[in-house]
């Protein structure tokens, strides 16, 4: 009996309190802002969506809730998108890593064509109303923009950062080996990849016997040269023949053979340590000076600072051989079935606007894809004390502007994986270069045909 009374009473109280909350909420929020509350669901990975900026956007738009879902397994973000697209249900904003660009450009129907969207406008942050993707395209690095364009010309993603790729080198170790340490002079050591390998051999020849036995090398992993050279060309594994997927040219493209042969040459010259990147050995080696150079995208600078804080001031950045480079980057797009396209587009255009990209660069070291910033003193003049006050903004800006657009195809990731494994087999001395290449071709045949 007693229980019954209590429940009755509390139920009444609950109804009353809910009602009063509703009234209070109604009275106080409606006049403050006319906009309806909206939730933007974002699928992302890693640190593509930065916490500080999310807080900033929430302050600008209290009515907007950003619901961010991160996936930890690399291919999963893409896999979830495939499921979401075939089920025509899913998020409002999705982050796509550039290695998936080739895949998604074949399926523009999964994305809203951003040329058809118009910004609501936000005078306080300098975003005018009525801007389509075509209007803002001029702000971005042209080849980087192309990675977010579908085969039919529709814009399916706007670039966040651009990786860039330059050589991070250890001043102290260069000095010990009798090499120049000034970044201009260092860059002059290696105008070409062959010169880079020769420099590496020189470095190795100066090493003590004990160091040689301990596996010390010039570059952390010679296999990374492959991707660097591939990105310096004008085509990878596909040529644009106007079709949805493009034409496969991996076996005939001289760039592939050049990149493969140069990497094999570097591997056989023994200039690399054979340590895999992002392994614990790599982190330790970075501290111990096991290698003197790393091919470093801009975002890796932050990683080096975090993993080897004691090496501050011992690093510097010099231009990469062969001219320019890139590794990584992400696009943000809006799926075609998103429920809050307008809110998503407003968020996206704000988040990727040059002003925000500059903030991200300064706090997290992600290099902006907004090329209008490449003349901005705030970027060009930026020097990093950890890297011996190298003008990293200037160096990376010069590097990324040397690249050209590359047509990316559906199976690019799979082809990259197969070739990477082939280089790994040679590095581990499991196979000769010729045998390994034969197996790569065999594996690729399966990738393409099966």
Task: List residues near another protein by CB under 8 A.
Answer: 72-75, 78-79, 82-83, 85-86, 103, 106-107, 109-110, 214-215, 273, 275-276, 279-281, 284-285, 290, 410-411, 413-414, 417, 420-425, 427-428, 430-431, 446-447, 449-450
Nearer to another protein, 5 or 73 (CB): 73
Question: Least distance to another protein from the beta carbon of 420, Å?
Answer: 8
Give the DSSP letter of residue 275: P
Nearer to another protein, 128 or 309 (CB): 309
**Checking DSSP bridges between strand 291-296 and strand 166-170, what pairing results, if any?**
antiparallel
Question: Least distance to another protein from the beta carbon of 166, Å?
Answer: 25
Question: Least distance to another protein from the beta carbon of 85, Å?
Answer: 6
Nearer to another protein, 192 or 280 (CB): 280
Residues 102, 125: Cα–Cα separation, whole Å: 33
Question: Least distance to another protein from the beta carbon of 365, Å?
Answer: 23
Residues 151, 89: Cα–Cα separation, whole Å: 23
Question: Least distance to another protein from the beta carbon of 409, Å?
Answer: 12
The helix (run of H) or strand (run of E) holding residue 213 is: helix 209-213
- For 303-312, b where at least 16 C-beta lie within 10 A, e where not — what string? bbbebbeebe
Q: Is 179 within 8 Å of 199 (Cβ atoms)?
A: yes
Nearer to another protein, 10 or 287 (CB): 287
Give Cα separations from 366 to 89, 162, 300 (angstroms).
31, 7, 9
Residues 156, 395: Cα–Cα separation, whole Å: 29
Q: Is 347 within 8 Å of 66 (Cβ atoms)?
A: yes
Alpha helices in 352-411 (DSSP H): 354-364, 377-380, 392-400
Nearer to another protein, 125 or 417 (CB): 417
Instruction: Give the residue among 318, 294, 321 at the shortest CA–CA distance from 402.
Output: 321
Instruction: Give the residue among 274, 222, 229, 278 at the shortest CA–CA distance from 254.
Output: 229
Residues 442, 153: Cα–Cα separation, whole Å: 34
- φ/ψ region of 108 (left if φ > 0, alpha if ψ in -120 to 50, else beta) reads alpha
Question: Least distance to another protein from the beta carbon of 130, Å?
Answer: 32
Question: Least distance to another protein from the beta carbon of 315, Å?
Answer: 20
Question: Least distance to another protein from the beta carbon of 290, Å?
Answer: 7
Nearer to another protein, 53 or 259 (CB): 259
Length of the chain: 450
Question: Least distance to another protein from the beta carbon of 265, Å?
Answer: 19
Nearer to another protein, 75 or 128 (CB): 75
Nearer to another protein, 269 or 414 (CB): 414
Give the DSSP letter of residue 62: T
Nearer to another protein, 274 or 359 (CB): 274
Question: Least distance to another protein from the beta carbon of 95, Å?
Answer: 17
Nearer to another protein, 106 or 199 (CB): 106
Q: Is 54 within 8 Å of 61 (Cβ atoms)?
A: no
Instruction: Give the residue among 338, 333, 344, 335 at the shortest CA–CA distance from 61.
Output: 344
Nearer to another protein, 194 or 443 (CB): 443
Q: How is residue 424 written in tokens?
A: 């790994």
Cα R_g (the chain), whole angstroms: 26
Question: Least distance to another protein from the beta carbon of 149, Å?
Answer: 18
Instruction: Give the residue among 172, 226, 222, 218 at the shortest CA–CA distance from 199.
Output: 218
Q: Supply the angle between the helices 193-205 and 224-231 in degrees, to the nearest 10.
A: 160
């Amino acid at each position: 009996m007693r229980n019954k009374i209590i429940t009755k009473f509390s139920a009444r109280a609950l109804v009353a309190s809910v009602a009063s909350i509703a009234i209070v909420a109604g009275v106080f929020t409606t006049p403050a802002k006319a906009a309806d509350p909206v939730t933007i669901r974002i699928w992302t990975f890693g640190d593509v969506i930065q916490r500080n900026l999310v807080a900033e956007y929430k302050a600008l738009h209290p009515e907007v809730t950003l619901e961010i879902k991160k996936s930890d397994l690399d291919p999963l973000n893409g896999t979830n998108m495939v499921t979401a697209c075939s089920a025509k249900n899913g998020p409002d904003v999705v982050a796509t890593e550039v290695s998936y660009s080739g895949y998604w450009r074949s399926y523009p129907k999964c994305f809203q064509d951003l040329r058809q969207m118009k910004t609501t406008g936000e005078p306080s942050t300098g975003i005018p109303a009525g801007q389509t993707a075509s209007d803002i395209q001029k702000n971005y690095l042209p080849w980087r923009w192309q990675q977010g364009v579908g085969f039919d010309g529709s814009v399916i993603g706007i670039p966040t950062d651009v990786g860039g790729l330059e050589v991070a080198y250890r001043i102290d170790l260069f000095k010990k080996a009798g090499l120049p340490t000034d970044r201009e002079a260092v860059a002059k050591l290696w105008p070409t990849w062959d010169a880079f390998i020769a420099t590496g051999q020189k470095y190795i020849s100066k090493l003590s016997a004990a160091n040689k036995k301990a596996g010390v090398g010039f570059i952390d992993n010679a296999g990374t040269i492959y991707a660097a050279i591939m990105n310096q060309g004008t085509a990878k594994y596909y040529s644009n023949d106007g079709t949805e997927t493009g034409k496969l040219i991996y076996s005939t493209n001289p760039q592939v053979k050049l990149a493969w042969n140069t990497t094999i040459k570097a591997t056989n010259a023994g200039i690399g340590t054979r340590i895999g990147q992002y392994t614990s050995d790599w982190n330790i080696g970075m501290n111990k000076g096991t290698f003197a150079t790393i091919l470093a995208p801009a975002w890796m600078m932050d990683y080096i600072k975090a993993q080897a804080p004691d090496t501050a001031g011992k690093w510097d950045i010099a231009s990469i051989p062969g001219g320019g480079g890139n590794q990584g980057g992400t696009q943000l797009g809006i799926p075609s079935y998103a429920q809050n396209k307008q809110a998503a587009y407003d968020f996206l255009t704000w988040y990727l606007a040059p002003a925000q990209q500059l903030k991200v660069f300064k706090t997290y070291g992600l290099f902006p894809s907004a090329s209008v910033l490449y003349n901005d003193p705030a970027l060009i003049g930026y020097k990093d004390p950890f890297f011996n006050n190298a003008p990293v903004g200037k160096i990376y800006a010069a590097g990324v502007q040397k690249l050209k657009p590359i047509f990316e195809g559906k199976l690019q990731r799979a082809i990259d994986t197969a070739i990477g494994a082939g280089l790994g087999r040679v590095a581990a001395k499991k196979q000769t270069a010729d045998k390994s290449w034969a197996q790569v071709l065999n594996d690729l045949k399966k990738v393409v045909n099966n």
